[in-house]
Amino acid sequence: MDVDRRNFFRGAAVGAAGTALTGGVLIGGARVDARAAQRSEPTEESSYPFDGQHQAGILRPATKQPSASFTAFDVTAKTRGELIALLKTLTDRARMLTRGGPVTDTGVGGPPLDSAVLGGAIPSDGLTVTVAVGSSLFDDRFGLKKLAPLRLTPMTVFPNDFPDPAWTGGDLLVQLCANNPDTIHHAIRDITRHTRAGMQVRWKIQGYNSPPRPTGTPRNLLGFKDGTANPTNAESQQLIWVDDPAEPAWTHGGSYQVVRLIRMLVEFWDRISINEQEGIFGRRRDSGAPLDGNVENDTPDYGADPDGRIIPLDAHIRLANPRTPDTANQRIVRRSYNYDLGVDPNGNIAAGHIFVAFQQDIRRQFEAIQTRLIDEPLVDYVQPFGGGYFLALPGVTDSTDWYARQLLS
């Protein structure tokens, strides 16, 4: 890789992350398929249970919920009692929004109870609300320090990262996923309206997933299929739920969540050859097959290619998942989305990837993988700039339960 080109790419990315994103460039260029705009009445198939051992929106395939948003909040509640009230309100709003139903207005004399973005009745529309806590919640404000999750820390900054404080961290993270973007907009607007006294938005980003093109796994904005090697549902159960006896008991049934906001330098990426792109990923761009395979779900045979003659030794898929017995328990469940923030002040496209992963142990899983990816060839075309580490709370078990009850009771 030419050194001057590398520095040029990095300079462009830093400017975009540090200036355009902090300046709040609005999402642009969104187009909605006319068929998706024809909303049907809520059905049993379009709603997911809110109550349960685990929160919804963790194992649900992201492809079944193509619209999403990730909003980090700073808690402004002053006392433990106010924090409890906040989380009870958040639970009530999440339960109502995911269930859907009619809205009763107050009449013309007062503010409406609902924005009416979705009309007179709220459709469930496949909405899930997943709430997670950051390490900053366990400071001295609420007496929670001794109950902090064992493996929850501020997000590690890796080489090739350029974190922007305005897009990093947060006491709480609210992940919303649904069938349509107006459902996401309606939900976050409702939640912020009812919780403004207890928490304030720190950062927010909207995401989307495309349908498979033409088949298989959807593609990221670099044009490659993304998430092909995700563990199956049975494997996922062994990799994501917190169950370590050393962890505080209230965390059991939760999952450590990593969110990384990654700018993709799509215009520079488009200038390199397909052969170079495929070597960087280790997969065919058209089919998603590994370079030593024929179809997307073929398993790469690294043992038959020890020198990297077919799949380069520094290819993304080879570093991320070496497929050895020693790295089997390092796999993560990915649930990522694309984003588009329009353009930066230099006129470059400000788009990329919302990397989302769930696991039992961030150090054992995500950080082990990310350490192997340091200085991979792909770093010339991507720029991580924000996100955070969180603990997705255990599920709300029934109508008398609420988010983080076992932590705060």
Read off the tokens for 90: 């958040």
Q: What is the pLDDT of residue 291?
A: 98
Spatial contact of 257 and 392, defined as CB atoms under 8 Å apart? yes
CA dihedral 45, 50, 55, 60 (to 10 degrees): 10
Read off the tokens for 235: 């494997």
Mean pLDDT by 10 residues, the chain (409 residues): 44 43 34 35 66 95 94 98 98 97 80 91 96 98 98 98 97 98 98 98 97 93 95 90 98 98 98 98 98 97 98 98 96 97 96 98 98 98 98 97 97
SS3 assignment for the chain:
CCHHHHHHHHHHHHHHHHHHHCCCCCCCCCCCCHHHHCCCCCCHHHCCCCCCCECCCCCCCHHHCCEEEEEEEEECCCCHHHHHHHHHHHHHHHHHHHHCEECCCCCCCCCCCCCCCCCCEECCCCCEEEEEEEHHHHCCCCCCHHHCCCCCCCCCCCCCCCCCHHHECCCEEEEEEECCHHHHHHHHHHHHHHHCCCEEEEEEEEEECCCCCCCCCCECCCCCECCCCCCCHHHHHHHHCCCCCCCCHHHCCCEEEEEEEEEECHHHHCCCCHHHHHHHHCECCCCCCECCCCCCCCCCCHHHCCCCCCCCCCCHHHHHCCCCHHHHHHCCEECCEEEEEEECCCCCEEEEEEEEEEECCCHHHHHHHHHHCCCCHHHHCEEEEEEEEEEECECCCCCCCCCCHHHHC
CA distance 403 to 391: 12
Every domain of the chain and the residues it spans: 3-21+60-103+111-408
Spatial contact of 356 and 392, defined as CB atoms under 8 Å apart? no
239-227-256 Cα angle (round to 5): 35
CA distance 230 to 387: 21
Q: What is the pLDDT of residue 1?
A: 43
